[in-house]
Structure 1
Amino acid sequence: MTFTTRPEITGTFGVATSTHWIASAVGMRMLEHGGNAFDAAVAMGFTLHVVEPHLNGPLGDMPALIWPTDADRPVMICGQGPAPAGATIAHYRGEGLTLIPGSGLLATVIPGAFDAWMLMLRDHGTMALRDVLEPAIHYARHGHPLLPRVVNTIAGLADFFRDEWPTSFATWMPGGAVPEAGALFRNPALADTWDRLLAEAEAAPTRTAQIDAACKAFSQGFIAEAIDDYLRDACVMDAAGGRRKGVLTGQDMAGWQAGYEPPVPTDYHGWTVWKGGPWTQGPSLLQSLRVLSGLDVGAMDLNGAAFVHTVTEVMKLSFADREAYYGDPLHSEIPMETLLSDSYAAARRAQLSDHASTEQRPGQIAGLEALAQAAVTRAATDFGTGPGPGAGEPTMAHLTERRGDTVHIDVIDRWGNAVSATPSGGWLQSSPVIPGLGMPLNSRAQMFWLDEGLPTSLAPGRRPRTTLSPSMALGPDGTRMAFGTPGGDQQDQWQLIFLLRLIHGGLNLQEAIDAPLFNTAHLQASFYPRGTRPGHLMVEPNFGTSVIDDLRRRGHALEVAEPWTVGRLTAAARTPDGLLRAAATPRLMQAYAVGR
């Protein structure tokens, strides 16, 4: 039996796994009190806003795959808000920008997470709004032990908060000092916000009417009014080094709602894998599977240099296509059928070699050659950086903690209902706290380009091409699996590696998560300042010296990470006989799986 850092959780009643142990425990509490996976996920999501405020918030974004037990396939809940009406390329260019800043008020899109959680709760959950909000209110009101990474994030921005974002200074540095790691930290303004929301919602007569009333209070009532009032006059420093006003209005919020859409599937070695549409980066994982399906991955050492090299080179091709062709399919024609076709995968497979590529190589699609060329040109452009804070969304301890990240949730209940959700945005370092609300806005607009004619060009009503990418899969024996990870551009790299090891290595969930990980920053970064690192490959040192030396000989620009610092995967699965399994990464010592 392979040693793992912790057991794979097994049981029949329910499993909940997330990037913070408190959220996982909250999810299990909902299941113990008779709730289903959807109730548990909502309660976990709002708890994560409180305990991981550097990684997500109520004014952020939230795509989720949900799989009701009686459905034959999952469905996507789109909690990705689009660009506001005033978010035009002309306006941003007029502000002296060539890139959308990674922080500040122009970086925001319409907040999407709250409405998406409410949609899940109303249509699929069973519990009252108060039941799922009470844990978050408790930890915001009475305190939770503050993570060292939150403290480090606040400490790195202490002077900036004091000088430029006074509402954030008051929220994150109560008493004027950086809080202590492990000490109880409170956000009473956030608790007050949810208490007021509940008071207004519970005036409605039924559970459904109360959830609808909460949505109205958020998008048209006191929360939207507070955001509108603040943004009317606020002019704050951003990551590009200038003080600028935002364009989001209460009217923008009132005009948008979360919704459902079908995910995109592909088949691989008897498995069916579902990802979000091309407004996410999810199809890049599916493209990688299509290319790999023509190679004998199962014959490779899954911790060997050939595996690492091959998977890395395939991911470079898939992410080049992501940059060239992905975007909001409601606003652009996305050639998804071509990108996932056998013939296209074969053509991309022929581009692989034994040497690491340092080129950006989007595939050539008839009629769309200009998009491919534009992606190559952007990747070769040095955009520079501004002196301001809050750029980026990498994830691990070896990267600057001033940058934002994401969280992830997987839940399966005793009936077989399943959720995979990747909430993000609204980080404490992304934007000033809205006065009286205890929460900052998101910075997802930084994923747009300020160039015309692209699927990812900034335009009112268009969704940014997000990195957020939950996953679900169906095994050949009928096993249903929910899995995912934070990690910006790395999300569909780490998930691909996990899935390949699970399918080809016969590993259990925890073994597949514990195995050494790698990722590349060769691709065009999705976050300000949008750089590339041609040929880059980061590996964990437990691959061993011989594998690392072999990868160098193959031409990779190798970066060896600190031990146990790459990837934040969690996963849950249910076999047809009702046996539940769950696992969580030991990396960063935060994530936990629970169940019985």
Structure 2
Amino acid sequence: MTSFTTRPEILGTFGVVTSTHWIASAVGMAILEKGGNAFDAAAATGFVLQVVEPHLNGPGGDLPVICYDAAGDKVEVICGQGPAPAAATIARYRAEGLGLIPGDGMLATVIPGAFDGWMLMLRDRGRLPLRDVLEPAIHYARNGHPMLPRVAATIEGLGDFFEKEWPTSHATWLPGGAAPAANALFRNPVLADTWERLVTEAEAKSGREAQIEAARDCFYRGFIAEAIEAFVARTEVTDGSGARHKGVLCGEDLASYAATVEAPLTHDYHGWTVAKTGPWGQGPVLLQALALLEGTGIEHADPVGADFVHLVAEAMKLAYADREVYYGDPAFVDVPLETLLSRAYNDERRKLIGAAASFDLRPGVVPGHEAQVERMMRIIDGLGVSETGVYEPTMAHLSEKRGDTVHIDVIDRWGNMVSATPSGGWLQSSPVIPELGFCLNSRAQMFLLDDGLPTSLAPGKRPRTTLTPSIALRDGRPELAFGTPGGDQQDQWQLSLFLRLVHNDLNLQQAIDQPLFHTTHFPASFFPRQRQPGHIMVEESFGEAVIGELRRRGHSLEVAPTWSIGRLTAARRDADGLLRAAATPRLMQAYAIGR
């Protein structure tokens, strides 16, 4: 017996690509058909997503990747998360009269890391020439792509602000003074010229690796870096603080940057091993939530029932509370991950999960960190609570004026596997650099302007992002790549997906189609950093009985329309080599392809 799904689970043996836009997925599949591997396909998909989902990511953004290289039989993290510029000090920002870093504008920018992350992956793991990887993005930027209705609405809503405050963005996104119509062809010829010049300059070198190195030089030490430095130096614009500010990013910051490769953090759960980024992202919260859920009976819960929602939400409240007081760039701060992910610690924390909804933010206290926890909680209390929602904009019924994220999962016929969550540099971040056709990011808003905390602003420090791709191994064999856009909700939606796959006889599409939920009980990572104690948002497709039971348990419930929460995608490789892929129907953009 099969149950209805919104689209088929894609099955094949040659390769699968799934992403948050159908054109990008098709491009990734075309790269596989051309003889490229998963790394080539993921990069090409990523560059196209910058063009077709510009409200969610851009060339000036950031990139975490978790990948499995079949040749080396190793799962690794590629960190394309740029750090704060050398001049980005707390004193400098406080001198501007700021208590929080704005969510947009020039001061919110860190070093763009996505491009170098893609190039590092291509150089060490890819097969195809650089031009083959960038050509699809150049094509869609130059010849046009159908403008998503949500992007058109975002641009229209920002039109007056762009015209008055960010004229270079107005010229790019409202050519001729008019916002683009939904589904009309839209072009960004300046971005096409940027990538074409970069590829042409790179091709002056002989050999694939040399060309990729030349491309890295073009971006971080060549004409792109020069244009970025000149624009930041001359540009002062209004940002989310309501005041006008100039940025602090300079050419030396760009020239000194390089993406890195790291070992993933892992946690074992019911025969699976889940691999995530380090605590410069929020990935460890999913691992801790799995540790918290051991022994709760979650494996026996109806995956669309009230017990499931309650247990997952309460575990996430505890894991995210620990994120708030402990996570940060481990190159700068001592993050006690060994304790936070340990059985003993989570056995104690699990006792806090009761039959009723919790409304208090309850981080654990790791010995040696008592003062840090106390101070961080005072700051969180000062940020206040919100009655109107503190979400990111993945859900269709919410604001279309804030940036978000995209996601890509690829598996090729050799068993290589990529899970990537590019973000930042969206069109709402900061003004377009007119010579380049793209803008910088706003990731610095994750930092706090208070000294001595894990997320305190400091030069060279990576912000604690929400970007969190996933790979899961089954009995030691890489099997599943999955992820989603969604800010603080990313690991919540991924946790539900993973649990439903592990404990129920569901295929990828069935699991993705099931109703979703999340909590905003903890402080948001984005300006203005507020929270909603006890809150859960659930899709109405859970049904009246489940929703009523959750209310009875005391949850502050917000019911969202069906098909409005989350943008999950996933790809899977069975032990016999059968490949599977699926993509959410929500927002009608994501698509899985394969054969």
TM-score (norm 1): 0.98
- What is the CA RMSD across the aligned residues, in angstroms? 1.2
For residues 439-518 of structure 1, what are the structure 2 equivalents within 5 Å? 439-476=438-475, 478=477, 480-518=479-517
Question: Structure 1 pair 469/337, CA: closer, same or farther in 2 (3 Å)?
Answer: same
Give 1:528 deviation, angstroms. Answer: 0.3
Amino acid in structure 2 at the alignment position of 1:11: G
Deviates more, 1:417-426 or 1:572-581: 572-581
**Secondary structure of the equivalent of 1:63?**
strand
Aligned position for 1:434: 433
Judge conservation of contact 1:58–1:426 (CA < 8 Å) in 2.
Answer: yes
- Map Cα deviations across residues 378-424 of structure 1 (whole Å, 9 max, x no partner): 33224699xxxxx9743211210001110000000000001000000
Give 1:86 deviation, angstroms. Answer: 0.5
Aligned position for 2:382: 381
Judge conservation of contact 1:361–1:376 (CA < 8 Å) in 2.
Answer: no
Question: How far apart, CA to CA, are the structure 2 residues paired with 1:179 and 1:18?
Answer: 24
Amino acid in structure 2 at the alignment position of 1:298: E
Say if 2:235 is the partner of 1:212: no
- Map Cα deviations across residues 339-390 of structure 1 (whole Å, 9 max, x no partner): 00000010110111111111110001111012222332233224699xxxxx
Judge conservation of contact 1:574–1:580 (CA < 8 Å) in 2.
Answer: yes
Aligned position for 1:226: 227
Question: How far apart, CA to CA, are the structure 2 residues paired with 1:96 and 1:399?
Answer: 30
Aligned position for 1:270: 271
Question: How far apart, CA to CA, are the structure 1 residues paired with 2:40 and 2:352?
Answer: 46
Aligned position for 2:581: 582
Aligned position for 1:9: 10
Structure 2 gaps of 5+ residues are none
Question: How far apart, CA to CA, are the structure 2 residues paired with 1:40 and 1:442?
Answer: 24
Say if 2:145 is the partner of 1:179: no
Amino acid in structure 1 at the alignment position of 2:530: G
Aligned position for 1:528: 527
Question: How far apart, CA to CA, are the structure 2 residues paired with 1:380 and 1:80?
Answer: 29
Judge conservation of contact 1:509–1:583 (CA < 8 Å) in 2.
Answer: yes
**Secondary structure of the equivalent of 1:214?**
helix
For residues 215-364 of structure 1, what are the structure 2 equivalents within 5 Å? 215-364=216-365
Aligned position for 2:75: 74
Judge conservation of contact 1:82–1:461 (CA < 8 Å) in 2.
Answer: yes
- Map Cα deviations across residues 137-180 of structure 1 (whole Å, 9 max, x no partner): 00000000000010111011100000000000000001100100
Question: Structure 1 pair 237/473, CA: closer, same or farther in 2 (3 Å)?
Answer: same
Say if 2:136 is the partner of 1:147: no
Give 1:314 deviation, angstroms. Answer: 0.4
**Secondary structure of the equivalent of 2:377?**
helix
Question: How far apart, CA to CA, are the structure 2 residues paired with 1:299 and 1:494?
Answer: 19
Judge conservation of contact 1:525–1:532 (CA < 8 Å) in 2.
Answer: yes
**Secondary structure of the equivalent of 1:115?**
helix
Question: How far apart, CA to CA, are the structure 2 residues paired with 1:125 and 1:95?
Answer: 45
Give 1:313 deviation, angstroms. Answer: 0.4
Judge conservation of contact 2:384–2:531 (CA < 8 Å) in 1.
Answer: no
Say if 2:413 is the partner of 1:417: no
Amino acid in structure 2 at the alignment position of 1:415: W
**Secondary structure of the equivalent of 2:100?**
coil
- Map Cα deviations across residues 195-232 of structure 1 (whole Å, 9 max, x no partner): 11111100001111111000001000000000100111
For residues 8-157 of structure 1, what are the structure 2 equivalents within 5 Å? 8-157=9-158
Give 1:185 deviation, angstroms. Answer: 0.2
- Map Cα deviations across residues 300-330 of structure 1 (whole Å, 9 max, x no partner): 1111111101110000000000010000001
Structure 1 gaps of 5+ residues are 386-390
Judge conservation of contact 2:376–2:453 (CA < 8 Å) in 1.
Answer: no
Question: How far apart, CA to CA, are the structure 1 residues paired with 2:141 and 2:218?
Answer: 20
Judge conservation of contact 1:141–1:186 (CA < 8 Å) in 2.
Answer: yes
Question: How far apart, CA to CA, are the structure 2 residues paired with 1:74 and 1:408?
Answer: 18
Question: How far apart, CA to CA, are the structure 2 residues paired with 1:314 and 1:73?
Answer: 30
Question: How far apart, CA to CA, are the structure 1 residues paired with 2:73 and 2:47?
Answer: 29
Aligned position for 1:162: 163
Question: How far apart, CA to CA, are the structure 2 residues paired with 1:71 and 1:294?
Answer: 36
**Secondary structure of the equivalent of 1:355?**
coil
For residues 523-562 of structure 1, what are the structure 2 equivalents within 5 Å? 523-562=522-561
Question: How far apart, CA to CA, are the structure 1 residues paired with 2:486 and 2:591?
Answer: 17
TM-score (norm 2): 0.98
- Map Cα deviations across residues 499-522 of structure 1 (whole Å, 9 max, x no partner): 000001121111110000000011
Judge conservation of contact 1:384–1:529 (CA < 8 Å) in 2.
Answer: no
Give 1:295 deviation, angstroms. Answer: 1.7
Question: How far apart, CA to CA, are the structure 2 residues paired with 1:351 and 1:32?
Answer: 52
Give 1:233 deviation, angstroms. Answer: 1.6
Question: How far apart, CA to CA, are the structure 1 residues paired with 2:586 and 2:402?
Answer: 18
Question: How far apart, CA to CA, are the structure 2 residues paired with 1:544 and 1:392?
Answer: 23
Give 1:479 deviation, angstroms. Answer: 5.3
Question: How far apart, CA to CA, are the structure 1 residues paired with 2:533 and 2:450?
Answer: 23
Give 1:476 deviation, angstroms. Answer: 3.2
Amino acid in structure 1 at the alignment position of 2:80: G
**Secondary structure of the equivalent of 1:380?**
helix
Identity of aligned residues (%): 66
Amino acid in structure 2 at the alignment position of 1:76: V
**Secondary structure of the equivalent of 1:381?**
helix
Question: Structure 1 pair 333/449, CA: closer, same or farther in 2 (3 Å)?
Answer: same
Judge conservation of contact 1:77–1:261 (CA < 8 Å) in 2.
Answer: yes
Question: How far apart, CA to CA, are the structure 2 residues paired with 1:520 and 1:328?
Answer: 25
Give 1:71 deviation, angstroms. Answer: 3.7
Amino acid in structure 2 at the alignment position of 1:184: L
Question: Structure 1 pair 447/392, CA: closer, same or farther in 2 (3 Å)?
Answer: farther
Question: Structure 1 pair 383/443, CA: closer, same or farther in 2 (3 Å)?
Answer: farther
Judge conservation of contact 2:63–2:420 (CA < 8 Å) in 1.
Answer: yes
Question: How far apart, CA to CA, are the structure 2 residues paired with 1:72 and 1:215?
Answer: 27
Deviates more, 1:12-21 or 1:369-378: 369-378
